[in-house]
Amino acid sequence: MTATDTHRAIDAVWRIESARIIAGLARMVRDVGIAEELAQDALVAALQQWPESGIPDNPGAWLMAAAKHRAIDMFRRNKRLERKHEELGRELQAKQEMAVTDFDAALDDDIGDDLLRLVFVSCHPVLSTESRVALTLRLLGGLTTEEIARAFLVPEPTIAQRIVRAKRTLAQEHVPFEVPRGGELAARLSSVLEVIYLVFNEGYSATSGGDWMRPALCEDALRLGRILAELASHEPEVHGLVALMEIQASRSRARVSSSGEPILLLDQNRAHWDQLLIRRGFAALDRAEKLGGMGGPYALQAAIAACHARALSPEATDWARIVALYEALAQLAPSPIVELNRAVAVAMAFGPAAGLEVVDGLIAEPSLRNYHLLPSVRGDLLKKLGRFDEARGEFERAAALTRNARERELLIDRARTCAGN
Amino acid sequence: MRFMMIVKSAEKWGFPPKELMDAIGKLSEEAVKAGTMLGNGGLLPSAKGTSVRISGGKLIVKDGPFTEAKEVVGGYAQFELTSKEVAVESAKRFMELHRQHWPGWEGETEVRQMYEPGDFPH
């Protein structure tokens, strides 16, 4: 094995193991920032030693053991952490005879709990949303700062800063390394779900840049969601979110043309929908339902996505059910965006005039003033009603509002087809 | 990135020992918990299969076993992973279990990346 091969293998081991190692260490040192540094130190040690010694049989256990030794060294050096040192000393005494296999067992023991704690800490409301995203992708997604920066089209130092600040804030605010309980749990869980869905959406319909989608971000979000679904398997909304993401992701291949242009849902070739992801989505929705969670916002959105996934053609879509689901969603969390989506469903179920009526109720909505999908939907309905001039104006307005280059081209194109009529 | 892992070996080895199946079960469970495994499956012996082949412009349907094949596909798994290197590392761990729990067995796991949006040449 060449040095390059070894480095590649180490990189792979790191990606597989880093979240569990950081989570395990964070429980010991009660500080996520220090835990990550210790894990990084262990990685550096591996990079130095493995090219010569070869990759150990159980590389994860090796890294964990190396990181723990560094934690012990750190405690010994650092007088300020004397109290924690004593705690650790007791823990170590109890486990003095620990062989490498026991480290492995320690990795398995409660590691799920540790990971769950790490999720909640990374998505703690004390952090800004963008810091939560960066920290979660870094600590749980195993992404490098550079990868996160590339995914969000932000300079690398910005992301690095966010992560450093986030870790500092967590330490300053003495955020405990624990899973919230009781009344706090629901709010904290919804913060976690929000972060994951935000990552997914940034990948699914990139708000900026030249590409319509950034699939790697969708995959990262899905992976985080699936991990969470195993860690917090009794929480229906977690399965609701996973179902929503699986079903939306199932359309990835169909929603972009070979030349990179977006293809809208009803124009997509359904044969390109990924049936494996659809099945997984249905299974997740099933889990949410069995837990009595069909009323949650993610489960409702997943149920809407499932209506599309079940339909073999746009005409076969159960639009009346989609309208009902949007109504339930609007009652739960009233929002102009949900209303706009309901308008589309109403138009499909009861005709474009009925849909337009709902859309027109939204024109004065301040939060939609710069939202390109409002004129885009309105243009679509006007076009269906044969009001081509008005439709063209709406598509042009939508094109001027979108920040996504690919979407802009599509909208300009639609404006052009109206002019021909 | 989506990967397909295809496990191949000679059919003479028969069914894997229970210890191996248990170890694979544990590894699969870990992969599900890590959110990386999308699905997997094992195949019945080729004696129960049929080959439909085009050769010399003709369609040839032939029932198993596939005696001409040195190795046949015994199972597969689909993974969503962050890199090819991670895929290879996962395959190594899977094969390591075979080495531990099925002495003498020989075979391979093919690590193949699947097409994604944008990969299609047309």
ipTM for this model: 0.83
Q: Is B58 helix (H, G, I), strand (E, B) or coil?
A: strand
Given this model, what pLDDT does residue A28 score?
87
Q: Does A13 touch chain B (CB under 8 A)?
A: yes
Over the stretch A250-272, which tens digit does the pLDDT of each residue have?
A: 998 888 887 777 888 989 999 99
Q: Partners of B72 in the beta sheet?
A: B9
Chain-wide mean pLDDT for chain B? 92
Q: Partners of B76 in the beta sheet?
A: B6, B41
Q: Is the model's pLDDT at A62 over the cut of 50? A: yes
Q: Decide if B89 is inside a domain.
A: yes
Q: How far is A16 from chain B (nearest CA, A)?
A: 7
Q: Is the model's pLDDT at A98 over the cut of 60? A: no
Given this model, what pLDDT does residue A211 score?
66
- The edge-to-edge listing of strands for the beta sheet with B37-42 is B37-42, B72-80, B2-9, B107-113
Q: How confident is the model at residue A249 (pLDDT cuts 50, 70, 90)?
A: very high
Reported for A46-50, long-range contacts at CB under 8 A and 24+ positions apart, including other chains, are: A46/A10, A46/A13, A47/A7, A47/A10, A50/A6, A50/A9, A50/A10
pTM of the model: 0.84
Give the lowest-confidence range in A184-188, A244-248, A304-308, A384-388.
Answer: A184-188
Q: Which residues contact B89 (CB under 8 A, 6 or more apart)?
A: A9, A12, A13, A16
d(CA A94, CA A88): 10
Cβ B117–A225 below 8 Å, yes or no? Answer: no
C-alpha closest to that of A61 among A33, A26, A102: A102
Over the stretch A99-154, which tens digit does the pLDDT of each residue have?
A: 334 444 444 556 778 999 999 999 999 999 999 999 999 999 888 899 888 888 88
What are the two backbone dihedrals, phi and then psi, of residue A332, each rounded to the nearest 5 degrees? -70, -50
Q: Which two three-digit tokens encode residue A67?
A: 């990181």
Q: How confident is the model at residue B120 (pLDDT cuts 50, 70, 90)?
A: low
Q: How far is B81 from chain A (nearest CA, A)?
A: 8
Burial class (CB in 10 A: 0-12, 13-18, 19+), A35: buried
Given this model, what pLDDT does residue A101 score?
42
Q: Partners of B59 in the beta sheet?
A: B54
Q: How confident is the model at residue A96 (pLDDT cuts 50, 70, 90)?
A: very low
Cis-peptide, bond into residue B65, ω within 30° of zero:
yes
Q: Does B40 touch chain A (CB under 8 A)?
A: no
- Residue A333 to residues A328, A343, A369, A373: CA-CA distances in angstroms? 9, 16, 20, 19
Q: Is the model's pLDDT at A51 over the cut of 70? A: yes
Q: What is the largest CA-CA distance in chain B?
A: 48
Given this model, what pLDDT does residue A194 score?
92
C-alpha closest to that of A24 among A48, A55, A59, A60: A60
Q: What share of chain B is helix, strand, coil (3-state, %, to 5)?
A: 35, 35, 35
Burial class (CB in 10 A: 0-12, 13-18, 19+), A180: middle
d(CA A122, CA A228): 13
Given this model, what pLDDT does residue A102 score?
44
Q: How far is A134 from chain B (nearest CA, A)?
A: 17
Q: Which two three-digit tokens encode residue A233?
A: 């398997």
Which sequence spans correspond to the domains of chain A? Answer: 1-111
d(CA B63, CA B47): 7
d(CA A142, CA A2): 24
Q: How confident is the model at residue B117 (pLDDT cuts 50, 70, 90)?
A: low
Q: Does B82 touch chain A (CB under 8 A)?
A: yes
Q: Decide if B19 is inside a domain.
A: yes
Cβ A11–B85 below 8 Å, yes or no? Answer: yes
Q: How far is A223 from chain B (nearest CA, A)?
A: 5
Q: Does B116 touch chain A (CB under 8 A)?
A: yes
Q: Is the model's pLDDT at A280 over the cut of 80? A: yes
Given this model, what pLDDT does residue A84 score?
62
Over the stretch A366-398, which tens digit does the pLDDT of each residue have?
A: 888 889 999 999 999 999 999 999 999 999 999
Asked if residue B64 lies in contact with residue B48, where contact means CB atoms within 8 angstroms, the answer is yes
Helices A111-122, A3-29: inter-axial angle, 10-degree rounding? 80
d(CA A262, CA A362): 25
Q: What is the count of structural domains for chain B?
A: 1
Q: Decide if B49 is inside a domain.
A: yes
Give the lowest-confidence range in A210-219, A398-407, B17-26, B67-76.
Answer: A210-219
C-alpha closest to that of A72 among A60, A89, A95, A59: A89
CB-hemisphere CA count at 13 Å for B92? 15
Q: Is the model's pLDDT at A207 over the cut of 60? A: no
Q: How far is A303 from chain B (nearest CA, A)?
A: 21
d(CA A94, CA A109): 15
Q: Does A96 touch chain B (CB under 8 A)?
A: no
Q: Decide if B119 is inside a domain.
A: no
Q: Is the model's pLDDT at A214 over the cut of 90? A: no
Q: How far is B38 from chain A (nearest CA, A)?
A: 8
Given this model, what pLDDT does residue A107 score?
47
Domain CATH number, residue B64 = 3.30.70.1060
Q: Decide if B121 is inside a domain.
A: no
Give the lowest-confidence range in A223-227, B95-99, B112-116.
Answer: B112-116
Rg of chain A over Cα atoms, rounded to whole angstroms, equals: 25
Q: Is the model's pLDDT at A94 over the cut of 60? A: no
- Best probe of the B interface among A226, A242, A257, by most B CBs < 10 A, is A226
Given this model, what pLDDT does residue A150 score?
84
Q: Does A12 touch chain B (CB under 8 A)?
A: yes
Chain-wide mean pLDDT for chain A? 88
Q: Decide if B109 is inside a domain.
A: yes
- Best probe of the A interface among B3, B28, B80, B100, by most A CBs < 10 A, is B80
Given this model, what pLDDT does residue A212 score?
63
Given this model, what pLDDT does residue A293 score?
87
Instruction: Find, in chain B, the residue whose alpha carbon is nearest to that of A246.
Output: B38
Q: Which two three-digit tokens encode residue A64?
A: 């964990």
Chain A partners within 8 Å of B32 (Cβ): 226, 230
Which comes out higher in pLDDT, residue B25 or A333? Answer: B25
Over the stretch A300-337, which tens digit does the pLDDT of each residue have?
A: 999 999 999 999 998 899 999 999 999 999 999 888 98
Given this model, what pLDDT does residue A264 score?
85
Q: Does B119 touch chain A (CB under 8 A)?
A: no
Cβ B39–A276 below 8 Å, yes or no? Answer: yes
Structural domain harbouring B78: 2-113
